[in-house]
Structure 1
Amino acid sequence: MEPNKSEQHQQRQRLVVAALRRVLPAQSVLYHEEDTRPYECDGLTAYRQLPMVVTLPESEAQVIAIVQVCREMQVAIVPRGAGTGLSGGAMPIADGLVLSTARLNKILNVDAYARTARVQPGVRNLAISDAVGVHDLYYAPDPSSQIACSIGGNVAENSGGVHCLKYGLTVHNVMAVRAVSMEGEIIELGGAGLDAPGLDLLAVFIGSEGMLGIVTEVTVRLIPKPQTARVIMASFDDVIKAGNAVANVIAAGIIPAGLEMMDKTSSRMVEPYVKAGYDIDAEAILLCESDGTQEEVEEEIGRMSAVLQQAGATAIAVSQSEAERLKFWSGRKNAFPAAGRISPDYYCMDGTIPRKNLAQVLLGIAAMEIKYGLRCANVFHAGDGNLHPLILFDANQPGEFHQAEAFGAEILELCVAVGGTITGEHGVGIEKIGSMCVQFSPEELAAFWAVKRGFDPLLLLNPDKAIPSLHRCAEYGRMHVKKGAVKFPDLPRF
């Protein structure tokens, strides 16, 4: 009698576990359901899948050993950092292996003179700044999850944060990456200098979502702590005015350390949670930070205040202490968890648009709220046009999650239609893989696949993520408007 699918899976699992236990300590191989359940999803909890096995290597040599076993046995590998990602990039595969880098959590070297730190991938983002603070240095990228997210995951997703406008994303702050290829070989990309010979494969690797290699070390650039920093909180009675104010600040030649926007729904959602002093009657608020010397900050705060007033700000408050500055930021940093106060569930989208189209896209999202019958709270990195709409829904209501998914897909189509992109920092993962068909042509997708095969010819590293097949795009095209056809002619142009 032929074994059924479940029996085949169990037989396969036993063989893989036995092979892994020959090269790893028993405590580094998890395969019982109660042990693998915590790894069934990342921050995108709507999609879940139990992995066949989870490994927790404690050294680079163990990572190589895991890769060699998986290569020989044709087992797919899903690399996983802290699991805070929001696109399903670390969601397991049913017959695959999750390779967690959580135990690779050492800060290997800090060079205060070169302003660099060499760390393992499991080191938390904020832990780097904590460790180098004694030298008056810090690591600039600061995603909202920085207290928990790991630097390896930041590399995989090219994470940003509220200060990415001035200081850049992960790709601008990482100097070198050491990784293990699917052949079990060590890859070293970048270096200690400002440039490295050959093609810039470091930039290709950062943001590749675990599809090209498994990170084992990262060398990050550190910057001096600013002497001081202050934040303007500006209120607006109209989202169009607030959106235009963002463009006006940049047009004035000012690059704030941070420039964030929250609409009324977001402010009212957050204020009771953090009590940051937000104007809950304003249609939108902007948070504009300046950092540097006392004189630089004083001059820039004055210039930004003038621009904001001319743009129609109804109220302006400026932080008078470090405690007040952190209080102003606390609402923006806690916007996602605060959503739980007003909605059973939320679906966080991530798209990027030209700054000049902020008001237009906000109006488009407002129209979609009516169309889909769902509320949407908008919090985003306004300075670089990176939107984070929080679509509020109740998963207990039949069909609401699918409505939220359709709402999110249409937001991304609108982003592309105005000249933007389907992601800014959350990555593609499984969440936006259909939307990749809106953004890119078959020829462009073929080029992405060529890069993938160059690093991973057997397609065993995080398969079925980020890059859609042409067949998947054909299926997506039957369900959605094809690329180039989404014109949104009913929206006003600015």
Structure 2
Amino acid sequence: ELVTMEGEVLRLGGRHLDPAGLDLLGVVVGSEGLLGIVTEVTVRILPRPQTAQALLIGFPSVASAGQCVADVIAAGIIPAGMEMMDRPAIHAAEAFVKVGYPLDAEALLIVELDGPEAECGHLAEEVAKIAAGHGASSIRASRDEAERLAFWAGRKAAFPAVGRLAPDYYCMDGTIPRRRLPEVLERMAALSDRYGLGVANVFHAGDGNLHPLILYDANEAGQLERAEAFGNDILRLCVEMGGVLTGEHGVGVEKRDLMPEMFSAVDLAHQQRVKCAFDPALLLNPGKMFPTLHRCAELGRMHVHRGALPHPDLPRF
């Protein structure tokens, strides 16, 4: 049914919804296509910030960079962007775009502040003080728009740049509490040694969203399977640290069988009941998200016609 907004009134198929309906709409939009399909979106366009400045901050350790991130947020500063790269990602990005990243740093933070000129300058100074307090080895502020964009060019090119380190890479997506970042990276390094595969790390540091890039060669027997097992262990580690299986890429098929790492059987059953309420015919993104397929009516039966399941091309576990 069509969901529309009329002023502050939310309507579903012409019927008025109370404020709880706004949460319901959010569930539909964020359901990876399992509960509904968005056919039309109205947006409000905001003006560009008056000023924007980026800081390029090098650190002698990932732990100090991670603590700097936590303290910036704790100080009530909300950057427009805050990204982190570890040493392998720094070197790959710098070789790719040559923007002057500090190659002696173990971790690099790119922090962007925006707003009125006076506010932007003040916040940049505060972030620089916090970084210096955590032993930053270098702090460089963009002097103009061209340099600000250059700072970001390396981060935006990090994924293709890492492609120069190995024939293939497997990009993961998990989220952890920011304070656990040093511990997670230490454990991840141990996993890298265990599986015999390198890893370069890129983070949306402000919200703890990790993107480990596992390096492998699909032409070498067994490396793809090791990369996938390595990735699964990284996601289990994220959950163990109090995080979640995904930050922005979703669950889909890739992380479906890891859902029990994060949710109990009761949790999953209730989630599937919600799915059945919105999609009784199981037409929306079938076979995704839930690790166990149910044929009972209560948890979303699947019609078997002449011995064939619907959507036979989807892998079944």
TM-score band w.r.t. shorter chain? 0.7 to 0.9
Residue pair 1:207, 1:427 contacting (<8 A) in 2 also: no
Residue pair 2:258, 2:291 contacting (<8 A) in 1 also: no
> What CA distance in whole angstroms lies between the structure 2 residues aligned with 1:320 and 1:467?
50
RMSD: 1.6
**Contiguous gaps of at least 5 residues in structure 1:** 1-185, 472-494
Deviation per CA, 1:401-435, whole angstroms, max 9, x where unpaired? 11111111111111111110010000001111111
Q: Aligned residue for 2:266? A: 443
Q: Aligned residue for 1:396? A: 219
Closer, same or farther: CA 414–470 of 1 in aligned 2, 3 Å = farther
The more displaced of 196-205 and 246-255 is 196-205
Match of 2:38 among 215, 227, 247: 215
> What CA distance in whole angstroms lies between the structure 2 residues aligned with 1:201 and 1:441?
23
Deviation at 1:191, TM superposition (A): 5.4
Match of 1:238 among 48, 54, 61: 61
> What CA distance in whole angstroms lies between the structure 2 residues aligned with 1:405 and 1:374?
11
Q: Aligned residue for 2:184? A: 361
Counterparts of 1:174-213 in structure 2 under 5 Å?
Answer: 186-188=1-3, 192-193=7-8, 197=18, 198-199=20-21, 200-213=23-36
* Counterpart code for 1:387: L
Closer, same or farther: CA 404–191 of 1 in aligned 2, 3 Å = farther
Matched position secondary structure for 2:256:
coil
Q: Aligned residue for 1:425? A: 248
> What CA distance in whole angstroms lies between the structure 2 residues aligned with 1:441 and 1:387?
24
Match of 1:382 among 205, 208, 211: 205
Which gives a bigger RCO, structure 1 or 2 (Cα 8 Å, sep 6+)? 2
> What CA distance in whole angstroms lies between the structure 2 residues aligned with 1:212 and 1:372?
38
1:307 aligns with 2:122: no
Q: Aligned residue for 2:70? A: 247
Match of 2:154 among 296, 306, 331: 331
Deviation at 1:470, TM superposition (A): 6.9
Normalising by structure 2, what TM-score?
0.87
Residue pair 1:442, 1:470 contacting (<8 A) in 2 also: no
1:457 aligns with 2:272: no
* Counterpart code for 1:459: L
Matched position secondary structure for 2:42:
strand
Deviation at 1:436, TM superposition (A): 1.0
> What CA distance in whole angstroms lies between the structure 2 residues aligned with 1:420 and 1:189?
34
* Counterpart code for 2:139: I
Deviation per CA, 1:130-163, whole angstroms, max 9, x where unpaired? xxxxxxxxxxxxxxxxxxxxxxxxxxxxxxxxxx
Matched position secondary structure for 2:211:
strand
> What CA distance in whole angstroms lies between the structure 2 residues aligned with 1:395 and 1:190?
49
Matched position secondary structure for 2:161:
helix
Deviation at 1:360, TM superposition (A): 0.7
Counterparts of 1:37-436 in structure 2 under 5 Å?
Answer: 186-188=1-3, 192-193=7-8, 197=18, 198-199=20-21, 200-436=23-259
Runs of 4+ deviating beyond 6 Å? none
Matched position secondary structure for 2:52:
strand
Percent identity between matched residues is 55
> What CA distance in whole angstroms lies between the structure 2 residues aligned with 1:231 and 1:267?
17
> What CA distance in whole angstroms lies between the structure 1 residues aligned with 2:224 and 2:5?
42
Closer, same or farther: CA 189–281 of 1 in aligned 2, 3 Å = farther
> What CA distance in whole angstroms lies between the structure 2 residues aligned with 1:441 and 1:380?
28
> What CA distance in whole angstroms lies between the structure 1 residues aligned with 2:49 and 2:266?
45
Q: Aligned residue for 1:104? A: none
Deviation at 1:281, TM superposition (A): 1.9
> What CA distance in whole angstroms lies between the structure 2 residues aligned with 1:192 and 1:288?
36
Residue pair 1:353, 1:421 contacting (<8 A) in 2 also: yes
Residue pair 1:190, 1:202 contacting (<8 A) in 2 also: no
Normalising by structure 1, what TM-score?
0.56
Closer, same or farther: CA 194–327 of 1 in aligned 2, 3 Å = farther
Deviation at 1:192, TM superposition (A): 4.5
Matched position secondary structure for 1:390:
strand
Q: Aligned residue for 2:305? A: none
> What CA distance in whole angstroms lies between the structure 2 residues aligned with 1:232 and 1:191?
42
Residue pair 1:262, 1:284 contacting (<8 A) in 2 also: yes
